[in-house]
Structure 1
Amino acid sequence: MKKNLLAVAILCALTSGTAFAQKAEGPWLVRARAVNLDSANKDSTGLGLSVNNKVIPEVDVSYFFTPNIAAELILTVPQRHTLRAGGAPIGSLKHLPPTLLLQYHFDAPGFKPYVGVGVNYTRFSSVNFDPVATAGLNPSIDKNSFGAALQVGVDIPLTKNLYLNFDVKKVYIKTDVYASGVKAGTFKVDPILVGVGLAWRF
């Protein structure tokens, strides 16, 4: 009987200590990253379409529903890209790609790895084609894209609430391409984004 009571007491102490630590840590996590965007540039139009790779700023906000499960909203500012056909510039566009992910954070000593899966919405804007480079084609694109997003990363504690973050995402972004109103094919950006930054838990 005494052994059972002792076991219950130890379990209660551990549970309350864990709950206190989780409460003290806070449910919110904000990250700021520098992210290298590397596009897959898959094109079925036969024009050899591509956009340039670049480093972009990224900010995300996460909320922890439990110690292991969180939702993350990833944001940036509209990014301008040069659009090329066969390596030659034919225009430019901007894209804004907010992404919402559901994450699972693993329990590990000294660092906090996580995986995520979710959905991306990309809005293409300021689409401009060079009238000389695209003479006679009258090109246009679909300005909205919905696709899946996959993620793996790790938060490494630096201080009580400050973390060093490494993050890799695969985001599926595509748009249909039209010539004089007729669909010519699909251009898939489908970038891999590799980021490093800092995170603050509160």
Structure 2
Amino acid sequence: MNRKTLSVLVMGASLVVTANCMAYEAGDMILRVGAANVDPQTSNNTVVAGLDVEDDTQIGITGTYMLTNNLGLELLAATPFKHDITLDGAKVGETKHLPPTLSLQYYPMDSSSAFQPYVGLGINYTEFFSESTTGALAGTKLELDSSWGLAGQLGVDYSINDQWLLNAAVWKMDINTDVKVNGSKLGELEIDPMVYMVSVGYKF
């Protein structure tokens, strides 16, 4: 056996050992921290024509508990998002919100694969707070009701070693809120954002 062949075999064996160290198994916990962007896809606005909600980026955190080698339960959290509210492009207010989301995830690949794509389906709860008005709505009291809705998710992990990983994920969330000004309901705003996150993860 020549030196080149031996080197290839050693490299192959090393990759196999490394892959086995990357296994996702029942009982594992995966913590991911990174940048999360909430990009509202405002539609079916029954409040005021031209009303829109701008995007924002904050620190996103997800924690996943592996129920089996292929099923995980994930909680998405973040620092509060702050959104400008615009009317025909001009700022008329702002609000903050927190969108905790609980999802059941399915990882279809073999547990020893370095690449771990997954899909998830869950429930989102969005709490709006610190609403304020400016511009054309200055001096009025703005209220946005909290929201419950479904959330779908696509993501992928790439293991660097047996503990550290890189992650990219996207969610589509169903967020609808009743808009009130000075206590009177003006209508419903469908925000339905796309949420994008890139992060670094650690497996316990």
Matching residue of 2:100: 98
User: Which of residues 145, 158, 161 is equivalent to 2:147?
Assistant: 145
Is the partner of 2:69 in helix, strand or coil? Answer: coil
What amino acid does structure 2 have at the position aligned with 1:169? W
Deviation at 1:150, TM superposition (A): 0.5
Which range moved further: 53-62 or 101-110? 101-110
Cα deviation for residue 194 of structure 1 reads 1.6
Would you say 1:80 and 2:77 are equivalent positions? no
Q: Give me the whole-angstrom Cα distance separating, in 1, the residues matched to 2:137 and 2:114.
A: 55
2:11 paired residue number: none
Answer yes or no: is the 8 Å Cα contact 2:39–2:55 preserved in 1: yes
1:30 aligns with 2:31: yes
SS of the residue 1:94 aligns to: strand
1:33-56 alpha-carbon deviations (Å, 9 max, x no partner): 212221102222233211211222
Q: CA deviation at 1:141?
A: 2.9
Question: 1:1-202 maps to which residues of 2 (within 5 A)?
Answer: 27-42=28-43, 43-108=45-110, 109-130=113-134, 133-134=136-137, 138=140, 140-202=142-204
Q: CA deviation at 1:157?
A: 1.1
C-alpha spacing 1:142/1:66, structure 2 compared with 1 (3 Å): same
Could you say which residue in structure 1 is the equivalent of 2:14? none
Contact 2:151–2:173 under 8 Å retained in 1 = yes
Tell me how far apart the structure 1 counterparts of residues 195 and 163 of structure 2 sit (CA, whole Å). Answer: 25
Q: CA deviation at 1:148?
A: 0.8
CA distance in 1, matches of 2:49, 2:91: 12
Which has the larger displacement, 70-79 or 44-53? 44-53
- Aligned Cα root-mean-square deviation (Å): 2.1
What amino acid sits opposite 2:107 in the alignment? H
Sequence identity (%):
36
The gaps in structure 1 that reach 5 residues or longer are: 1-17
Count, aligned residues:
180
2:168, 2:198 within 8 Å by CA — same for their partners in 1? yes
CA distance in 2, matches of 1:56, 1:162: 22
Report the alpha carbon displacement of residue 179 of structure 1 after superposing the two structures with TM.
4.1
Moved more, 107-116 or 59-68: 107-116
Give CA deviations for 1:132-180 in whole Å, capped at 9, x if unaligned.
51269x4533331111110011111111111111111111112111345
